[in-house]
Amino acid sequence: MKTIELNHPLIEHKLTILRDRNTGTKEFRELISEIAMFLCYEAMKDAKLEQTEIETPLEKMKTGKLNEDNYAFVPILRAGTGMLDGVINVIPNAKIGHIGMYRNEKTFEPVNYYFKVPKDIDKREVIILDPMLATGGSAIDAIEAIKKKGVKKIKFLSIIAAPEGIKKVEEKHPDVQIYCAHIDDQLNENKYIVPGLGDAGDRIFGTR
């Protein structure tokens, strides 16, 4: 599946503020959440609706309704939690799991330290959240961990993605659709996305 990149003037505007090194923690958090909401809307374009009958103030009608019990959000700790508020606004009753990873600064490989998901996650469509898709290592590990639980449909949402990371995920997991707000130029020698926005986790939690 080809990665879907949001292409909209308002998204670019918000990304400009997000990238600015002078943007404070409060505004940074709010923008991460807001862009995540837009990403979730895009990712739900193929959602299946169940037919139901309701009564408006004027008459009865048949219409479609989303079964929110069919979905789960799984942020990659810690930065992925910054996207949760935004996506929960879209699907409030989705269940939530967590995958804990950090980057080994010498090898640049992800180190897994936590995994907790709903018991019936195999019956749900899973949307993995991580603001930065850089080398693709964390994304691939997270997808593999979710697949081991029997999940058949997985989507991956990120704010900023590097071409190198996209390529690796698409090669390893061609069945997983990636959605991102912007595809940046490349990774630098330290495997950070450039121009990027810095360390998303540090900026979300004010630890930079």
Q: In which region does residue 136 sit, left (phi positive, over 0), alpha (psi from -120 to 50) or beta (all else)?
A: left
The single residue of 81, 103, 135, 203 carrying the catalytic annotation is 103
pLDDT value of position 105: 72
The catalytic residue among 85, 122, 141, 199 is: 199
> Using one digit for the tens of pLDDT, what is the confidence trace for 77-99?
989 999 999 999 999 999 999 99
The reply to whether 141 belongs to the active site is no
Cβ atoms of 172 and 156 within 8 Å: the answer is: no
Q: Is 85 a catalytic residue?
A: no
Q: Judge whether residue 1 has pLDDT over 90.
A: no
Known catalytic membership, residue 63: no
What percentage of residues in the chain have a pLDDT greater than 90?
90
**Residue 57: its pLDDT value, please?**
97
**Active-site position among 16, 63, 107, 207:** 107
User: What are the start-end ranges of the H helices in 69-173?
Assistant: 84-90, 137-147, 163-172
Checking if the pLDDT of 106 tops 90, the result is no
Q: What is the CATH number of domain 4-48+66-205?
A: 3.40.50.2020
Residue 208 pLDDT exceeds 70: no
- The pair phi, psi for residue 87, each rounded to 5°, is -75, -30
pLDDT digits (tens, 9 = 90+) for 132-187: 999 999 999 999 999 999 999 999 999 999 999 999 999 999 999 999 999 999 99
Which tens digit of pLDDT belongs to each residue from 11-33? 999 999 999 999 999 999 999 99
Do the beta carbons of residue 84 and residue 73 sit within 8 Å?
A: yes
